[in-house]
Amino acid sequence: MSLLQNKKIILGISGGIAAYKCAELTRRLTEQGAQVRVVMTSAAKAFITPLTMQAVSGNPVSDDLLDPAAEAAMGHIELAKWADLILITPASADLMARLAQGMANDLLTTLCLASAAPTVISPAMNQQMWAAPATQRNLEQLKKDGRFIIGPGVGEQACGDVGAGRMLEPAQIIEYLPAFFLPQVLQGTKVVITAGPTQEAIDPVRYISNHSSGKMGYALAQAASWLGAQVTLVSGPTNLVPPQNCECIAIKSTEQMLSACQQVSQQANIFIACAAVADYKAASIESHKIKKTQHQLNLQLTKNPDILATIAQQVDKPFSVGFAAETQDVARYAKDKMQRKNLDMIIANDVSNQQIGFNSEQNAVTVYWPDGELDFAAEDKSTLAIKLLQLIAKQYTQQTQ
């Protein structure tokens, strides 16, 4: 089930060419089960019509603070109380200035003052307007007032300029929203997560790897960010886009992953090794492509360093969590791995089950720690990741108290 299911969201639209993206944003929000009420400024209606927004949201559009019919029942106050979240995008320089000064001279700014719901602002404007000292002062004031700022993006703008000021794409915006509906149990923590496979070169065109898609590790990184953590994702080669608000370090080999993890884990509170690293590598890498001249090719392999054990056996180690992808006797192998590698917790799954193995959208796991265990039935990896991170946060907090 979507984390936005039945959430009541006011979508505030101010004047800007990026307003056209709000139709797609609204459609995506409603697909995830959110209830969307659209509020438009006068300038916004010059770029996209209220009729369009009414059609995609399924609700009448509000655009007038002094609408006699609505205000007979104090409509703006009722709407302010209705909202679980106020999302303003595109937020123009003018709207940001008025919000920063606490003005209430239209329906949208009035709602922001009258509502106790979190206000999320996604700016969109010309790059020079974004960089202007006045806009930056207003930005800092909005942050001090407890408003949440996401974006803007960087790239080519409608005017032809290139720089910061683009409205984030609808999918990017939606990635941020679940954090406002989840307890921030990882607030103030630094979490390092490894994901994906590693690749060990044999020659310039061939390598040793495995079937890991990286989906579970990326889901954990997204969930950790939603729960308030500062996240670093160390990832082997995947086809996935790193989550918003996460630092991503791209690597190929196991040794490269170890080097990156040793560096970033020094300041980490929690280290989660979800990557499916290659246990072995070629003893020597050929400088040229190996030619197919014989019926057999004998490769000499040598063992790779153990990333998880290396991090978990440091004197001042972070709370260390491993994964055990097994095909038989899962519990025994997982518990043995936890003990051998000095782990605080291990997450075990049976990858022989193709419904929950590599590349699948779902996973089912059993989590073990020194004095407990917990089963998680099969469900989508994003939902499972949130539950796993909440359990990890609980155990980490108990250990550090």
Which pLDDT score is estimated for 350?
80
Residue 42 token pair: 């006068």
Note if 159 is an active site residue. Answer: yes
Which pLDDT score is estimated for 294?
76
Which pLDDT score is estimated for 349?
86
Contacts of 82 (CB under 8 A, 6+ apart): 8, 10, 37
Which pLDDT score is estimated for 298?
87
What is the tens place of the pLDDT at every residue in 70-121?
Answer: 544 445 688 899 999 999 999 999 999 999 999 998 999 999 999 999 999 9
Which pLDDT score is estimated for 66?
59
Which pLDDT score is estimated for 132?
95
Fold designation for 183-400 = Rossmann fold (3.40.50)
Contacts of 263 (CB under 8 A, 6+ apart): none
pLDDT beneath 50: ranges in the chain: 71-74
CATH 3.40.50.1950 segments of the chain: 8-180
Q: Is 32 exposed, middle or buried (0-12, 13-18, 19+ CB in 10 A)?
A: middle
Largest CA distance in the chain: 88
Of 238, 229, 213, 277, which Cα lies nearest the Cα of 389?
A: 229
CATH 3.40.50.10300 segments of the chain: 183-400
What is the tens place of the pLDDT at every residue in 372-385?
Answer: 999 998 888 888 99
- Rounded CA-CA distance 262/276 in Å is 17
Which pLDDT score is estimated for 73?
44
Identified catalytic residue from 22, 112, 159, 246: 159
Is the domain spanning 8-180 CATH 3.40.50.1950? The answer is yes
